[in-house]
Amino acid sequence: MAKDLSISYLLDFYGQMLTDKQREVTEFYYNDDLSLAEIADHCHITRQGVRDSIKRAEAQLREYEEKLGLATRFVEIQAGLDEIIRNAQEISILNDRFSGSSEVEKRVGAIIDLASRLND
């Protein structure tokens, strides 16, 4: 069974919405890198049962993302905050070069601070 590593990412966002068993076997498979046989031994179910549970969980996670879009939105927000920080840093450089306004520097610092905190 080929691993779709985006599932691990979706598991972070939507894992709590899966059944306990689906979440457990999917975390074992994607996050702990256990084989189907190892998970089957640990959970006392068949390899086929593990595979079926993982496949159902993957489908459910994709459906949650399709309907809610939280993971995609998170990535977009992080990229936007990175761009805000870069632009604010450029403004600071231009301010130093051309006018040296302490008010501009103060506000640029506040923007960078806020965007950095939100991006963590």
Cα–Cα distance measured from residue 116 to residue 120, given in angstroms and rounded to the nearest whole number: 6
How far is Cα 26 from Cα 3, in angstroms, rounded to an integer?
11
Q: What is the pLDDT along the chain (120 residues), one digit of tens a residue?
A: 667 889 999 999 999 999 999 999 999 999 999 999 999 999 999 999 999 999 999 999 999 999 999 999 999 999 999 999 999 999 999 999 988 899 999 999 999 999 999 988
Cα angle, residue 17 at apex, residues 16 and 18 outer, rounded to 5° = 95
Please give the model's pTM, rounded to 2 decimal places.
0.78
CA gap 81, 26 in Å, rounded: 31
